[in-house]
Amino acid sequence: MIATLYRQNAVLAQPVRASEQEHRERSRLFLRIERDGVVGYGEVAPQPHELNGDPGFGDVVEAVGVALLRLEGVVAREGELPSWSRVARFSSGSPKENVATTLVEMALLDRELRASSRSIVELWPRRFVTPTQATVSLLDDAPWRVDGSARRVRVKCAPGDLANGALERLERLSVPVIVDYNCSVTSDLTVLTQLELIRRVATVAAIEQPYEVGNFIDHARLAALIDVPVSIDEGLRSTRDLTRIVNYGAATMICVKPARVGGLANARTLIDRARDLGVAVYVGGFFESPFARGVHRALAESCVNEPSDLSVIDVERNDEVKSTHVGVSFGIEPAGAMLASAERLSVTSLSES
């Protein structure tokens, strides 16, 4: 069994400024697992550096090595690859292991479906035509590129004055917005003041993650002060977090990012539990390639009707990130030309005895 880890750097055609960083370039990790002539691929796109509880790229690479050693141990004991649905149980649940687990789990799911000549739709029947959500920033004067098919727009925001022309650009939008603070708020007044301004020109669907991770009390207080939903993004990593969100009354919406919560199986569990608790859910992403975005679309169309981060991200040198269409599994795979030009971080031959 051979596991190959690749790093592919993508430069965004439209950089997005958030409260504490500018999203301009993102390194994507691709994992290729081959056994008995059948291949499976996984992908994650970690943050460059640790931020708001999310691990940095280097920590994730280290955790992938540990995850592959665990996988090798399972294969040596059991004589075969474990089902993709078991992989989340091998993780400690730390942020870096959650991202690494997502990478391994996706590759094993892809390989499992290919080995049985099955489509993901057989496993996750389509129940929704999930709309897309675009992401732009109110923090600079860069022009916005919003796909006409987007049904909602996430706008990055932060305390302080808005960029010149921000309200004019908002007014030109014809769809609702989620105002995303990325944990930067320290006072309710910031949100109340900016919410009043923004609502003069746009429909606000939610306020996303104003306060720091784990601060459910301030989120609950804010939720009681405003008449639009509060959403939790960075603060959602587990079913325990979801329970606390509901018990505190901290939010009525959540953003589920598979890489943040430890993979696709965990994401489905969270989505199902949130639905039972009356919490609205949308699927988020970390600037992945068309491959992982396609996997997330399959997840969303089976579980979610809220606009989600499913559209393809425009990048420079787009020919290097296109996916190849295949007849089974997710329907696409990372393009061979892209992997050939990517940096090969490791090739691991996993012993099976």
Q: How confident is the model at residue 325 (pLDDT cuts 50, 70, 90)?
A: confident
**Helices assigned H by DSSP within the chain:** 57-78, 95-115, 120-123, 166-172, 188-199, 216-225, 239-248, 258-261, 264-276, 290-303, 336-341
- Quick one: tokens of 58? 């280097």
What does the DSSP assignment read for 38-55? EEEEEEE--BSS-BTTBP
Read off the amino acid at residue 152: R
Domain contains 309 = no
Alpha-carbon distance of 1 to 306, in angstroms, equals 39
**Residue 95 and residue 242 share a domain:** no
Domain contains 311 = no
**Residue 148 and residue 273 share a domain:** yes
Model confidence, pTM: 0.95
Give the domain range for residue 76.
2-119+317-349
Domain contains 245 = yes
Q: What is the CATH number of the domain that holds 17?
A: 3.30.390.10
**Residue 89 and residue 58 share a domain:** yes
pLDDT value of residue 316: 83
Alpha-carbon distance of 46 to 64, in angstroms, equals 12
pLDDT value of residue 322: 60
User: Using one digit for the tens of pLDDT, what is the confidence trace for 21-47?
Assistant: 888 899 999 999 999 999 999 999 999
Alpha-carbon distance of 309 to 286, in angstroms, equals 9
Domain contains 312 = no
Alpha-carbon distance of 305 to 128, in angstroms, equals 6
Residue 319: pLDDT over 80: no
Domain contains 65 = yes
User: Using one digit for the tens of pLDDT, what is the confidence trace for 176-207?
Assistant: 999 999 999 999 999 999 999 999 999 999 99
Neighbouring C-alpha atoms within 13 Å toward the C-beta of 260 = 25
Domain contains 247 = yes
**Residue 172 and residue 216 share a domain:** yes
Q: How confident is the model at residue 327 (pLDDT cuts 50, 70, 90)?
A: confident
Residue 242: pLDDT over 90: yes
**Residue 183 and residue 321 share a domain:** no
Alpha-carbon distance of 18 to 133, in angstroms, equals 17
User: How many domains is the chain built from?
Assistant: 2
pLDDT value of residue 312: 87
